Amino acid sequence: MKPISNPFQNSEPIESAILDYLEHELPDYHFEDQIDMPFVLELLTDFPEIDILEEIKNFRWYYDNAPLSGTSAQRLCIRRWIARAAGRSSYSPIH
């Protein structure tokens, strides 16, 4: 007998969820698969203690659903937001 799947269990890899959010949910974001996949993987590697998707959502709504209007350095803005979030946490990078 096949077990019933849990509809609340997220089986999607986090990088796919982040990429999907960038492409479809973040207003005015200029999604480019060739750039955004390495970008997301780098964020996940550089900030393992941060919930990247949640921070991108925070970024979106902090700026009233228009965080990137008129911004050409979109990925830099997102990376800085996440770096600040890491700075506010108990983050301590090992170098």
pLDDT digits (tens, 9 = 90+) for 8-19: 445 469 999 999
How many domains does one find in the chain?
1
What's the confidence (pLDDT) of residue 90? 61
Rounded to an integer, what distance in angstroms lies between the CA atom of residue 40 and that of residue 69? 21
What's the confidence (pLDDT) of residue 13? 92
In a domain, 38, yes or no: yes
What's the confidence (pLDDT) of residue 85? 96
- Please report the DSSP string for 47-72 in residue order: -TTS-HHHHHHHHHHHTTT-TTTT-S
Count of CB atoms situated within 10 Å of the CB of 20: 13
In a domain, 95, yes or no: no
In a domain, 27, yes or no: yes
In a domain, 7, yes or no: no
In a domain, 1, yes or no: no
Residue reference for tokens 């993987």: 41
Name the stretches of the chain with pLDDT < 70: 1-12, 90-95
What is the span of the domain harbouring residue 69?
14-88
In a domain, 69, yes or no: yes
